Amino acid sequence: MTARGDTSGDIPGAIRGGWQRARSWGAANPWGVDIGIALLVQAAMTMPFVVPRPPELEPASWPAYGLTTLMVLPLVWRRRAPLAVLLAVLVASALYRLAVEGPGQPLPYTGLVVVYTIAALSPSWKRLTTAALLVVAVPVSVWLNTRSMRELTFSLFVFGAAYVFGRLQDARQREHRVEAERAAARERARIAREMHDILSHAVSLMVVQAEAGPVAVRAAPERAEAAFEAISATGRDAMAQLRQMLGVLREGSEGGTAPREPQPDLGGIAELVERVRVGGLTVTYATEGGVRSLPPATGASAYRIVQEALTNVVKHARARTAEVRLTHEEGVLRVTVTDDGRGPQAGSGGHGLVGIRERAAAHGGTAAMGPGPGGRGFEVRVQLPVPSTTGVRT
């Protein structure tokens, strides 16, 4: 059992959060990261100077330690001029071998950091130039030190490993960029669908009601008043939804958390049908089966699907009647919109029908469109999976 107040279960999340914050800080402060790496390398290269040397060897000198700093200092510019940094490191390493008496280093830290950086961040011609330099520099360094095949093999291995790790990091960053671009494309498509649904529905109803207004003024003034009220209500609803969406986008772009109003769901379909009915189309709305509570995303998509289907009826079908039917079954919600019109014609309704298919597919569902029962009118049939854990409303 976990003792009360024990927060050990939060440790992995805290570690992930700390790592994410560190990565974000590093991306925003590359100079700070490079200075930190240089300090770490300097600390590693200081260790052989701190450890006592065997009595038969001369004590390490301050000039030798100063040359280690000259080898490390160029790492601060490793991203901006990697080849120049590599040359500076090679020259300082040669001076350390030839001109001073200093302890050997377990690993060529500075060279490994530069090779990793070039492999991860530089174009191919810089990588090829680096490989050519190392083919010369590594054997020369081994010849000046131990002249052993063991050291040569080890040096080639560690530099090769640094290069491979750099290329793997580059591949990982490319994958992240591609995934970010795909996510951005999906989000743009989602926003486009939302904007299309909101504006297309509102404008279509307003146009139909506005065209009927002059006729109603002459024939039935009370109907004209209702039509103008419907135009006003439709416009206000569209403006409210657009304002909410733009507010979310604006807050998200500033890194904040936008206040989110409830998204439309099945409960708003009755009001949607009523607004369309005021425009002159006779619409019926019915539900079958035990009405289930849906996940918010599924409910919003079902609402938008009905909205877009009715918008197509108003804009293109020249229908007199339409029917909206929701059928709740175990594990599935069926949405059917049928009209007695002529169906979408060439060049009409394309984006809306595509949007319906995309919404259904986003939830793992299906969408089919075609002639209605008996070949008359047009029918949109959508199936949306519903998690079995959702409950039946009583």
> What is the reported pLDDT for 215?
61
Q: Is residue 160 part of a domain?
A: no
Picking from 102, 121, 147, the residue at the C-terminal end of a domain is 147
CATH of the domain at 391: 3.30.565.10
Pick the closest to residue 273 from 207, 326, 349 (CA basis): 326
**In the 8-state DSSP scheme, what is residue 392?**
B
> What is the reported pLDDT for 250?
61
Q: Is residue 16 part of a domain?
A: no
> What is the reported pLDDT for 352?
72
> What is the reported pLDDT for 35?
92
Low-confidence ranges of the chain (pLDDT < 50): 1-9, 255-261, 394
Picking from 147, 169, 186, the residue at the C-terminal end of a domain is 147
> What is the reported pLDDT for 83?
92
> What is the reported pLDDT for 12?
63
pTM score, whole prediction: 0.55
Q: Is residue 240 part of a domain?
A: no
Q: Is residue 65 part of a domain?
A: yes
> What is the reported pLDDT for 257?
45
The 3-state secondary structure of 73-137, one letter per residue: HHHHHCCCCHHHHHHHHHHHHHHHHHHCCCCCCCCCHHHHHHHHHHHHHCCHHHHHHHHHHHHHH
> What is the reported pLDDT for 259?
43
**Residue 52, helix vs strand vs coil:** coil
Picking from 147, 163, 196, the residue at the C-terminal end of a domain is 147
Q: Quickly list H helices, the chain.
A: 11-28, 30-50, 62-72, 82-99, 109-121, 124-145, 149-219, 221-253, 269-278, 296-312, 350-362
Q: Is 76 left (phi over 0), alpha (psi -120 to 50) or beta?
A: alpha
Q: Is residue 259 part of a domain?
A: no
Q: Is residue 329 part of a domain?
A: yes
Residue-wise pLDDT for 276-311, tens only, equals 887 778 899 999 887 777 888 888 889 889 988 888
Query: CA end-to-end span of the chain, whole Å?
Result: 38
Residue located via tokens 């089966």: 289
Domain that holds residue 362: 267-394
Residue-wise pLDDT for 75-101, tens only, equals 999 999 999 999 999 888 888 888 777
Cβ atoms of 46 and 88 closer than 8 Å: no
Tally the domains of the chain. 2
**How far is residue 300 from each of residues 20, 148, 184, 233, 363, measured CA to CA in Å?**
32, 71, 21, 21, 11
Cβ atoms of 316 and 366 closer than 8 Å: no
Q: Is residue 221 part of a domain?
A: no
Q: Is residue 322 part of a domain?
A: yes
